[in-house]
Structures are given as C-alpha cells and as structure tokens.
Amino acid sequence: MDIICAAERPSIAQLLGDYVKQDVSPEDIDLSENPAETGSFFIGWRFRRFVLSPSGEIAADGHRATR
C-alpha cells in the first residue's frame, strides 16, 4: 500500500488542491487507506481530514487530522 500511496501522492494532492481551491504540495499531505471502502483513502492536510472515494471524488471527512 505504501508504494501505491507514494505513486499516487502527486495526483491526490492535485485533486485536493482543486477541491480546496489552493495549491497543495504532495509532501504536505498524509495518506492512509480507508478500511471502510476498498480503493478509498483518508487525506490529512493542515489539521483537516478528507476522504477520497474510489471514483476520485473528495469530500471533507469531519474529523480533524492528527498531524
């Protein structure tokens, strides 16, 4: 899973940047697998957490990131 996260990190940062309408650096995000849904990730960024669905949609998670 770490290899997938590393390979996808720039793409996920771009998607998040589009969602929040700010530049997001790949190094500034924390990725973890969402155990509730295959192919879904949690994204931690600036003390906020987002969910990336398998279809590529991002939504605010409502939980604070632990960074």
- Both tokens of 13, joined, read 């940062």
Q: Where are the domains of the chain?
A: 2-60
Q: Are 61 and 54 in contact (CB under 8 A)?
A: no
pLDDT on residue 39: 85
Burial class (CB in 10 A: 0-12, 13-18, 19+), 47: exposed
pTM attached to this predicted model: 0.79
* Mean pLDDT, residues 43-47: 93
Name the strands in the sheet holding 58-60, side by side, starting at the edge strand that comes first in the sequence: 30-33, 41-45, 48-52, 58-60
**Dihedral of CA 60/64/65/67: which sign?**
positive
- Indicate the pLDDT class of residue 61, thresholds 50, 70 and 90: confident
Residue 35 predicted with pLDDT over 60: yes
